[in-house]
Structure 1
Amino acid sequence: MTRNPLETIMGALVLLVAAVFLVFAYTTADLRQVKGYPVSAHFMKVGGLSVGGDVRLAGIQVGSVTGQTLDPETFEAVVTMNVLEDVRLPRDTRAVITSDGLLGGSYVKLIPGSAEDTLAPGDTLERTEDYQSLEDLVGEIIFLATQPAGAGGD
């Protein structure tokens, strides 16, 4: 059984195009972790946040998630992240885990405060808001809709 030389050339060409595509995708995708100073934050729920996920300020990536651990005393998720050196965050900055749309992944959204002093490397963000999934939001809406009128509970 002999092979057609045209099939061999076409197979090599397909492999070459695939290799060029992989090199292009790796060099253009920003998959590297941000180099900067480390900060951490404690959350009750992280909702699918993964290591390597974005840390954004005003919608712009200023850092990346470098790790997640569980605090054995409080049972909270401890998220560590690196923030760019030139981004000096006020001490009262808030960290919120949010979703990038219905089908997007989760990321850490930073909301800067107004404090004069800034976070030092290794500091912990004290003000955090946990991830709120779509299921949680729908559950709250159903709960509010099924409450009798005037039963606000206040």
Structure 2
Amino acid sequence: MKRSVLELWVGIFVVLGVAALLFLSFRVASGGSDSNSGDSYTVTASFNDIGGLKVKAPVKSAGVVVGRVTGVVLDPKDYRAKVSMQLQKQYQFSTDTSAQILTSGILGEQYIGLMQGAEEEHLANGSNIDLTSDALVLEQLIGKFMTSFAEKNAGDAEAPAK
């Protein structure tokens, strides 16, 4: 009799543990965003190369998360990536704010970094950020390094010996 009661409690404990893991998994998968759209505004920015930037990536200013990426589409007119960002209303950025795609660490996640400008007029819902810097793609940097290294070695080989 005592054994069946013990097994019942172990079973209940296991079920509660699995339920807690499922809850946390769904919470993490949904981004855990508690902000509603009434407390935010949407802005866009266009980039030539966004690297591995994904929807729900953070938007940071001075290292503080001030919003999230809500959409990434290719503009069929100029073939640039158009990124939509939802920023928290408590953070008001000027119309000359610049946006750049940065990476956390060497191989970390990519995010958008905003740098405040000097204008007094603020971005409004639907505004566009004109000053942008593209992502630095590691493969492209390595390719440029290897090309310049090969050209330098070829130039050294062709130089006459003294």
User: Cα RMSD over matched residues?
Assistant: 2.7
| Partner residue, 1:10 | 10
Q: Distance in 2 between matches of 1:55 and 1:127?
A: 15
CA shift for structure 1 position 136: 1.7
Q: Secondary structure at the match of 2:14?
A: helix
Q: TM-score, normalised by structure 2?
A: 0.76
Q: Distance in 2 between matches of 1:91 and 1:143?
A: 39
| Partner residue, 2:160 | none
Which is richer in helix? 2
Letter paired with 1:18: V
| Partner residue, 1:63 | 67
Q: TM-score, normalised by structure 1?
A: 0.80
Deviations 1:37-89, CA, capped at 9 Å, x for gaps = 11000011222211111000000000111111111111111100111112111
Bigger drift between 8-17 and 114-123 goes to 8-17
Does the 8 Å contact 2:44/2:83 carry over to 1?
Answer: yes
Q: Distance in 2 between matches of 1:9 and 1:38?
A: 50
Kindly report which structure 2 residues correspond to 1:71-110, keeping only aligned pairs within 5 A, or say none.
71-110=75-114
Kindly report which structure 2 residues correspond to 1:1-154, keeping only aligned pairs within 5 A, or say none.
5=4, 6-7=6-7, 9-23=9-23, 26=27, 31-32=32-33, 34=35, 35-148=39-152
Does the 8 Å contact 2:31/2:56 carry over to 1?
Answer: no
Q: Distance in 2 between matches of 1:33 and 1:43?
A: 28
Deviations 1:89-134, CA, capped at 9 Å, x for gaps = 1111111111122342111111112222221211100011111121
CA shift for structure 1 position 18: 2.8
Q: State the structure with more CA Rg.
A: 2
Query: After TM superposition, what 4+ stretches of structure 1 lie above 6 angstroms from structure 2?
Result: none
| Structure 1: tracts of 5 or more residues without a match | none
CA shift for structure 1 position 135: 1.3
Does the 8 Å contact 1:33/1:63 carry over to 2?
Answer: no
Q: Distance in 2 between matches of 1:46 and 1:13?
A: 46
CA shift for structure 1 position 7: 4.7
Letter paired with 1:31: G
| Structure 2: tracts of 5 or more residues without a match | 156-162
Does the 8 Å contact 1:41/1:128 carry over to 2?
Answer: yes
Distance 1:126 1:137, change over 3 A: same
